Amino acid sequence: MVFGSRRSAVPTAAETGRAEPRETLEALVLPALRRTPCVVAFSGGRDSSAVLATAAAIARKHGLDAPIPVTLRFGGDLRAEEERWQELTVRHLGLGEWLRLDLTTELDALGPIGSALLDRHGEYWPPLAHSTAPMLAAAERGSLLTGNGGDEFLSPWDLRRIWLLRHGRAIPRRADAKQLVLFSMPRRVRGEIWRRRAPLRLGWLTPEADRELQRLWATQATTRDGSWSSYVESVLDSRYFELGRAVFAALAADAGVLLVEPFLEPAFARAVARVVPLTGFVSRNEALERLFGDLLPPETIARKTKATFTTVPWGPAARSFAAEWDGSGLGRDLVEVEALRAEWLSERPDFRSLTSLQCAWLAARSR
């Protein structure tokens, strides 16, 4: 998990302009469509479907080649199964070309792709960033569009109800009393209370590291309460946002591919913030209906399920290293060795333990 503020400046609001969301998307997506082949990372989820539908509409408007959806398929993992939703969207958009890549253990965190990227770049975050490699290869030095950023900027704001209650826009319920009292306190105090009431614990951390994690988590969870637009700015200014974008940009540069992630662009996030209420969207359904309702199938907008891909990196190479790990390479002030090994070897390891696996492998590699 990554906390704190970014180290480089985010473009100012004046630099990103004041266009409407769809106008902004068109300006962002057009360069990708003009660099062929233009492929779209398409899982079948709502965010990747929205980007694919937007790109297809812009291509038709400008007489350009249609974008090509590229889908990674993991046979046997029901949690990553999206075939029905994928077919629904592709059929609705009338796309003729669709690239489907059937994978088994290729995205093992320490397999050939993952280990090559660790050798090239050192540890990277998010730790499943190497899953982009097959799609970058499919782009053939053209362009790649992704739907990353939907979770941040098209989801309801966690503190929406607190804002409504503070401003007399909602009728208080008995269950609201504790939250209202909490968010009326100084931020340092509310962070400490939050930490005690809703602890975030990762069982492989030492007590000292666990306390620091909880402190950082509580601070972040209780300070983004100004308005939805201020929440958007805090995400744009976050270290995790900066780091994730930099990692994917580095992988795309290595492949000679133009990477465009329109939902992650400050211009788009701010364009959305200007056209929605101060509290943001009520639901993801509302966001998609308002922004892409004329492009997507109604079933896609209304769906309530979401595939997960967090088991994909735990392949034979990752588990073999975990079993043979001698406990070195990670700070003993940070992790409990046997607890971490047990997590790595469990049936469904916590995705957040993957970075430590990669760091331990790199340390062993350097020796």
Q: What is the DSSP string of 205-235?
A: B-HHHHHHHHHHHHHHHHH--S-HHHHHHHH
Cβ atoms of 52 and 40 within 8 Å: the answer is yes
Average pLDDT value for the chain: 93
* Spatial distance between the Cα atoms of 42 and 132, rounded to a whole number of angstroms: 11
CATH 3.40.50.620 domain locations along the chain: 13-154+234-302
- The rounded radius of gyration (Å) of the Cα atoms in the chain is 22
| Whole-structure pTM value | 0.93
- pLDDT given at position 75: 73
Amino acid making up residue 80: A
SS3 70: strand
- pLDDT given at position 74: 86
Half-sphere exposure of 319 (CA within 13 A, CB side): 13
| Closest C-alpha among 250, 314, 242, 293 to residue 120 | 250
Phi, psi for 268 (deg, rounded to 5): -70, -45
End-to-end CA distance of the chain: 26
| Range 13-154+234-302 has CATH code 3.40.50.620 | yes
Q: What residue ranges in 57-98 does DSSP mark as E strands?
A: 68-74
Phi, psi for 345 (deg, rounded to 5): -95, 0
Residue that has been written with the tokens 């408007």 in this structure: 61
Strand partners, 100: 71
| Closest C-alpha among 113, 139, 92 to residue 260 | 139
> Which residues of the chain have a pLDDT value below 50?
78
SS3 319: helix
